Structure 1
Amino acid sequence: MDNKFGKRLSILLLPIYVIIILLSSLEYNNSNYLKVERDSSEFYSANNHYENLSEKEDTFISVAAIPSKVIETDYLKVFLLYSEEMEDFIFEMDEKLKPKEDKRTFYSKFFSEFKRGMDIASGKKEANDIANYLKITNQLYHLKIDSTDFESNFVVATNSKERIGFETYLNIKDLEAGKKVLIIEGPVKSDSFEPESETTTKILVTIPFWYFPQNISPILLSKKIEMDTAVNKQALP
């Protein structure tokens, strides 16, 4: 008897739970064009692509990040977040880098450091040649600002939240002041659900920023802001 009552109660409560979930997911859209985007583009700047806006504990960068929306230095730091998929593409480019035993799993830091120390003491080389690893990384991932290509020269680094990735600094002193767009291209699978599908290159992330070097004159700065505003208005649908 109790089991039958429990089943009936569950059947009665299920629609209520569904309705509550649907109601809690409702949001009001007050614009036909403007909406909150998770990823940046030429016309949207999402916080998770700027390091100074991703410092909260529950906020993490996505794909890549630059220091801030406004860059005043004559160089631009770019941090590209590491993923296991990136390493698969590197192994695809050079099978010699692929170790006999895949180490991408849980491990004991103590035993890992002990083994590394023993290998160094015995003169044994590591399975992966980090120099060649980075060389291929730089071949796979292309950086450009607007239509200008930049050499990446990535090195292994961690960000402020100890997430591992690749870091480089671009010389932008010859760029004109104003709005710029950083574009990072890299390899992806043509079918994301099929690991053996063809590898193609596409835009991974687009990050807008404003370049106003500290030594720019106030008059020129004002003119550049006016020009960028006019261009953005024309570009909007």
Structure 2
Amino acid sequence: MNTDYRTPSFKRFLDALQQQSWELELLLSGFVLYGLFNAIEPLREQGAIANYIGNELSVFSHSLALVSVYILIFNLITHIILRGLWIGSLGLRYVSGDINYEKLNYSKKFEKHLAKNIGPFDRYIANLENYCSIIFALTFLLIFYFFSFFIVLAINSILLHTLITSKGYPDWLQVLSVIIFMVLNLGGIIVFIDFITQGLLKKNKWVSKLYFPIYWVFSFITFSFLYRALTYNFLDNKFGKRIIFFLLPIYIIIALIVNIEYSNTNYFNDLETSNNVFAHKNSYRDMLTKKQDMPGKMVIPSKLIQNNYLEITLPYSKDLDDLVFNFDSILKPEIDKRGIRTELFNLTINNSDSSMANSKKLSSLRKKYLKVFNQMHYFTIDGVMRDADFIATTDERDLLGFITYLNIRDLNEGNHVINLVRKKKEKDSLVVTVEETIPFWYFKS
């Protein structure tokens, strides 16, 4: 096949292919829809985990990705519905032909109105074809736009983390990260302005000369050179631009709908943790049944305890880590290894003696960490103090936490309340607060 786009044969090939593209559109729409629907739950789960561990950037990324998925689903479902209507119209045209307004026996006023506004049936089919093609192309253009945005977001997050934890990196890398971060964000803002103004910066002779290097760099960073032809084809098509402006408010509505919640009570909806009068599901291990269900600050096995011991887990969080460092500053590491890191710039040659010494030091610090952690915490059950003896652990999802067991064989059967009490250092004073309260029922089996 001749692939020279200038030859008549290639143009005829494209015209013929265009006539059959609806089959591929439906096939691809179904395939992509299947993938998008299957992506919803993992995105929710990972977003919940990110929110649980306090990773704000990851929470934002997953929320944006979830909104993007819903927008793409809306587009593809709309495309399938319109394409189905188009196929049905073709079938009806084969049976019934064109619309005969005279046979309807309407008044002249309505006959004239319908003939003018609806017109021939072929025009209706042609309009449906245009809508289907535009929406289908727009959907995949949006996929590329989302992809480009997440590339920039990923680069930004890596640079930002490098700046925040720059103590462990060479000076030249810190300076380079600052420069790249500033240039990337400034360039991103300029490109975004050009994008929302539909190429305003490309229209002025002198501004376009200054803008061109930024445009060229970002075309490679975001891989936009792969889909720019599609973008410009939209921009020079009035019908396509009208569709985009029509869909834009719908996308905004979808973004708002994703975050809508239904309130069914006046008194208990805002309770996010358990207390004396409310047992929240995130306090009980057996109620965390969904993948996106995250534990609270303290977790016990169930509302009903039938053993003579009580398992208690405190999920790890960065804030909890910081409280330990603040309680005993010796534990605060010189280089914070939390978050994204790379060993690319930390390559060192260690002999066996130094490696063993580091291992012993780390083991000693772990023991001290747990000792301080236990000093910071204790429990009260119905007002009676119980000491904590935590060790570190991971759950079935490999989430880090701290676990201990309390002897409760002396408790009477019935309802009880356990409080997690934490000691904190604030400036020069020691503050004691009740961090979590969980009700439970104890009945011996």
Same fold (TM over 0.5): yes
State the Cα RMSD in Å: 3.8
Contact 2:287 2:302 in 1 (8 A): yes
Bigger fraction of residues in helix: 2
Q: Which amino acid in structure 1 is aligned with residue 439 of structure 2? A: P
Aligned equivalents of 1:47, 1:81: Cα separation in 2: 15
| Shift in alpha-carbon separation, 1:181–1:124, aligned structure 2, 3 A | closer
Q: How does 1:80-99 map to 2 (within 5 A)?
A: 80-99=314-333
Distance 1:91 1:177, change over 3 A: same
- The CA deviation at 1:199 is 8.1
- Larger mean Cα displacement after TM superposition, 84-93 or 168-177: 84-93
The one of 36, 46, 55 aligned to 2:280? 46
C-alpha displacement of 1:72? 0.6
Aligned to 2:434: 203
CA contact 1:89–1:187 (8 Å) conserved in 2: no
Structure number with the bigger relative contact order (C-alpha 8 A, sep ≥ 6) is 1
Distance, in Å, in 2 between the alignment partners of 1:48 and 1:176 is: 25
In 1, the alpha carbon distance for the partners of 2:268 and 2:336 equals: 45
What is the alpha-carbon distance in structure 1 between the residues aligned to residue 257 and residue 379 of structure 2?
43
Flag structure 1 segments of 5+ consecutive residues without an equivalent: 191-195, 215-237
The structure that has the greater radius of gyration is: 2
For the residues of structure 2 that align with 1:131 and 1:46, how far apart are their CA atoms?
A: 33
Q: In the alignment, which residue of structure 1 is the partner of 2:338?
A: 104
Task: Give the SS at the match of 1:213.
Answer: coil
* Aligned residue identity for 2:414: G
* Counterpart selection for 2:305 from 71, 76, 79: 71
Percent same amino acid at aligned positions? 33
- The verdict on how the C-alpha distance between 1:211 and 1:119 changes in structure 2, with shifts beyond 3 A counting, is farther
Distance 1:65 1:96 in 2: 29
State the distance in 1 between where 2:372 and 2:328 align. Answer: 8
Shift of 1:150: 0.8
**CA 1:81 to 1:34, structure 2 compared with 1: closer, same or farther past 3 Å?**
closer
- Give the number of aligned pairs: 206
Normalization by structure 2: what TM-score? 0.39
More deviation, 98-107/119-128: 119-128
Mapped to 1, the partners of 2:258 and 2:394 lie a distance apart of 37
Normalising by structure 1, what TM-score?
0.68
Structure 1 counterpart of 2:309, one-letter code: Y
Map Cα deviations across residues 162-216 of structure 1 (whole Å, 9 max, x no partner): 21111111111111111112211336798xxxxx9x98543322221111112xx
Distance change (3 Å), C-alpha of 1:12 and 1:189: farther
Please list, as runs of the form range in 1=range in 2, the aligned pairs for 1:128-143 lying within 5 A after superposition: 128-143=364-379
Q: Residue 99 of structure 1 aligns to a residue in which SS?
A: coil
Deviates more, 1:25-34 or 1:132-141: 25-34
Deviation by residue 1:15-53 (Cα, 9 ceiling, x = unmatched): 433344445555544433343743222222222221122
Q: Could you tell me how far 1:125 is from its partner in structure 2? A: 2.6
Change (3 A) 1:170 1:88: same
